[in-house]
Structure 1
Amino acid sequence: MKKDEYDVIVIGSGGAGMIAAITSRKLGFKVLLLEKLPTLGSKLKATGGGKCNLTNTLSNDDFMNSFGRNGKFMIKAISMLDKNDLRDFFSSIGVQTDTKDGFRIFPVTHNSSTIINALEKELHRLEVDVLCDVKVEKILVDGIKTTGVDTSKGEFISSNIIVATGGLGFPMLGANGDGYSFAKELGHKVTDLYPAMLPLITKETWVGDCTADTIAKAIVRIDLKKAKKLKAIGDLIFTSKGLRGPVILDFSREITPLLEKYDEVPLLINMVKGKNEDEVFQHLKKQSSLNPDYNIVELVSTLLPASVSKSLCLEVGADINKKFKEQDGQVRNNLVKIIVNTPLTVIDSVGFKKAMITRGGVSLKEINPETMQSKIIDGLYFCGEVMDLDGPCGGYNLQWSFSSGNLAGHLYK
């Protein structure tokens, strides 16, 4: 075998790419890992706010169901490397993990550098050839079979190419969609791409007065006829321009496609743990009796943070210096309604520049779930975020990257 000839070439050094390279090398293949940035694992470094949420404690079935209708595509990959296998793998390369909240699993250091350093050390131990600062320009094919790659440092020969280039999120960390371009050039369909797992911007400006507060277990619904069944529950955080927090990061994957279609996406948010209008009214009435000196803001603050209470009172035209019973009847009714279903209008997102994941990607219909190999080009494999499969916050997407990378690295034909 010539110096520039390999059994497998892996493009991209995120979680999927590094584990694909490690898996292939352990099976005895000669492996080249190519990364266009100067260092490995740049986007992995930002995962989970830098803490690297590797996976979670869900059963395999529940884990896959969290990805929706495409979850079944993961059966083979997850069966070969599930949460327990992943923890065992990291333990074998010197990384211990823990789950302080009983759900999310992190390295005990809660530092993504621990993961990157361990993977890099394992690549070196296995003598995987790693080249950074090398941009792949084109995947070379002969008919319907891969033959190598053309790069900024010349051609490298291989009959097996694994594309692990990630999505479009965080372009400052190297994301530019080159994997999608490779796929399209080789005849693959790439579905529409949207930023996901990111903050949202609202038309309403009062949210900017509530940035110090977190709403636990908020229920967020989309107020559009075709999306009435969609909802999410979780912690909500107000920002100077809109919304974020776990519930928004999860739900944004449903909202960004609608933004493109409608320009504005109306939301209804229940910030009182699912209480209905009658329950809220009775609560306010009771608290008013118990605290007769409370003004309307102080009264609503028995349900919500003070800043949010004041904003909602002002939204319905309440006199914030008066008591609940001193308000106009319609004002009281409107206040109860806005507490139970707070309307907010999403007009934009922060876009791919701060999107943790990409919704959409290389069509799963053209990838064999048993091997991760292309159904169009022999020797072409995909893994990780470049495919049309994404999940919620909480270690789902990184587990999928590792599992799919491991399966692709086996080079099943």
Structure 2
Amino acid sequence: MSKNYDLIVVGAGAAGMIAAIKAARDAKNVLLLEKLSQIGAKLRATGGGRCNLTNTLSNEEFMAKFGRDGRFMQDALNGFDYKDLIRFFDEIGVETHAPDGFRVFPTSHSSATIISALTLEMQKLGIDVLCSQKVEKLLSQNNHVSGVQTSTESFSAPNVIIATGGLGYPALGAEGDGYSLAHELGHKTTQLHPAMMPLRTKETWVQNCRADTIPKVEIRVDMKKHKKLKAYGDLIFTKNGIRGPVVLDFAREITPLIDKYGEVPVILNLTKGMNEEQITKHLKDEALKNQDASIHELVSTLLPSPLALELCLQSDIDPDAKLKAVPGKARAKLINYLAWTPLTVAGHDGFKMAMITRGGIVLKEIDPKTMQSKIIKGLYFCGEVMDLDGPCGGYNLQWSFASGYLAGELKN
């Protein structure tokens, strides 16, 4: 293909597609390359296919959710925040809404709606989209990008955007291509860890508590050096561990610690923030209301019955005993377990189950005002390939769209 391009975008996910669209709207000739046989594979799977696009937090609150490096996003969000994203999709025929006032979805609650609209917009703008094209090398001359080499041919352009994502969900094409491409031109990556994923526990009793979602759980790392690490949200016990929104959010903090220590002790408040004193009063009040109730039945007024049973057993208490018959030491242990249930996170399923990657291209090597490399001119980055990741709730997709939009402005 001999056509001259102003921009080549590598990776047709959320970040890559919007970068291509922005540049094409600015009258640039754009080529979008995707190594899979179709575009938007990971976007299609986002949020179980429902596609939580963004959320309604202010930019300041949004950045805070990404931790100490969140300020890196300021220019991108100032140029393309959640209101801009909603307007953008409205312009290309996608209605959105926020049913809970926070998370924003297409009204169809289908990622297919998003992909179809982006595809149509790219067609209207004349963007060349080539699938089954794996970029194997970035080409450069005189410290300036000059194009890319794929497995079959080379393409020339003075600007290249890397939008290849991370290592999460390799079944959807994630192989860390962007990291190796950037390395060849002098960029570094931080240590990479799987994030937003279920966790496995050493304790096996969790498999008996799989039927129910436990709301408003607080989870903390029970290590003196890392005691500030905590998260809140709904939790689900699994066959071999824990999952649910709170676990998906917290996994990004846990997986580096597992690599470092082998296993990580955590404590969970499963009783909606109640402390030992409040739990003690609650059980006594319930026992007064129903004097024939067993300790298992009393605890079941706080937690689902299977979980109540397991915590009684973990506290060495006969579940059928009355509250008054439970020895003081065992009762104190149960109260402590109800306030802070100890678990040991012992592993995970690696990147194959990770929705996102913690780590990426070092942010100091990227200009936050443009998303352009500070090492080589004409090279830009956007989305998950950079060292920024956030919790569940539309954070990572909004960042992909905002950084892609900024990169697509080509301030070179």
TM range (shorter): over 0.9
Match of 1:397 in 2: 396
Q: By how many angstroms is 1:350 displaced?
A: 2.0
Give distance in 1, aligned partners of 2:45 and 2:334: 41
Match of 2:285 in 1: 286
Residue type at the aligned position of 1:344: L
Match of 1:363 in 2: 362
* 1:4-403 paired onto structure 2 within 5 Å: 4-403=3-402
SS in 1 for 2:121: helix
Give distance in 2, aligned partners of 1:153 and 1:85: 38
SS in 2 for 1:106: strand
Q: By how many angstroms is 1:310 displaced?
A: 0.2
Q: By how many angstroms is 1:4 displaced?
A: 3.9
Give distance in 1, aligned partners of 2:70 and 2:194: 20
Question: Aligned-residue CA RMSD in angstroms?
Answer: 0.8
What per-residue deviation string (whole Å, max 9, x for no partner) do you get for residues 123-157 of structure 1? 11111000001110100111311111000220000
Q: By how many angstroms is 1:65 displaced?
A: 1.3
SS in 2 for 1:6: coil
Q: By how many angstroms is 1:111 displaced?
A: 0.4
Q: By how many angstroms is 1:322 displaced?
A: 1.3
Give distance in 2, aligned partners of 1:9 and 1:110: 31
Residue type at the aligned position of 2:81: D
Give distance in 1, aligned partners of 2:320 and 2:405: 63
Give distance in 2, aligned partners of 1:291 and 1:187: 71
What per-residue deviation string (whole Å, max 9, x for no partner) do you get for residues 93-115 of structure 1? 00000110110000000000110
Residue type at the aligned position of 1:89: F
Give distance in 2, aligned partners of 1:78 and 1:282: 48
SS in 1 for 2:94: coil
Match of 2:407 in 1: 408
Give distance in 1, aligned partners of 2:153 and 2:32: 15
Residue type at the aligned position of 1:77: A
Q: By how many angstroms is 1:351 displaced?
A: 1.4
SS in 2 for 1:284: helix
What per-residue deviation string (whole Å, max 9, x for no partner) do you get for residues 271-329 of structure 1? 11111111111111111111111111101001111010000001111111211111122
Residue type at the aligned position of 1:40: I
Per mean C-alpha deviation after superposition, the further-off stretch among 242-251 and 324-333 is 324-333
Give distance in 2, aligned partners of 1:391 and 1:158: 32
Give distance in 1, aligned partners of 2:184 and 2:295: 63
Residue type at the aligned position of 1:131: L
Residue type at the aligned position of 2:8: I
Give distance in 1, aligned partners of 2:23 and 2:280: 63
Residue type at the aligned position of 1:51: R
What per-residue deviation string (whole Å, max 9, x for no partner) do you get for residues 223-254 of structure 1? 01111111111111111111111111101100
Give distance in 1, aligned partners of 2:224 and 2:3: 57
What per-residue deviation string (whole Å, max 9, x for no partner) do you get for residues 25-58 of structure 1? 0001100000000000000001111110000011
SS in 2 for 1:302: coil
Give distance in 1, aligned partners of 2:166 and 2:66: 17
Residue type at the aligned position of 1:65: A
Q: By how many angstroms is 1:189 displaced?
A: 1.1
Residue type at the aligned position of 2:222: D
Query: If the length of structure 1 is used for normalisation, what is the TM-score?
Result: 0.99
Q: By how many angstroms is 1:3 displaced?
A: 2.3
Residue type at the aligned position of 1:298: E
Give distance in 2, aligned partners of 1:366 and 1:152: 28
Residue type at the aligned position of 2:59: N
SS in 2 for 1:267: strand
Q: Aligned residues: percent identity?
A: 59
Residue type at the aligned position of 1:165: T
SS in 1 for 2:252: helix
SS in 2 for 1:133: coil
Question: Unpaired segments of 5 or more residues in structure 2?
Answer: none
Per mean C-alpha deviation after superposition, the further-off stretch among 266-275 and 373-382 is 266-275
Q: By how many angstroms is 1:5 displaced?
A: 2.6
Question: Unpaired segments of 5 or more residues in structure 1?
Answer: none
Give distance in 1, aligned partners of 2:307 and 2:182: 47
Give distance in 1, aligned partners of 2:321 and 2:340: 23
SS in 1 for 2:145: strand
Give distance in 1, aligned partners of 2:100 and 2:52: 12
Which segments of structure 1 move beyond 6 Å, counting only runs of 4 or more? none
Q: By how many angstroms is 1:388 displaced?
A: 0.2
Residue type at the aligned position of 1:120: T
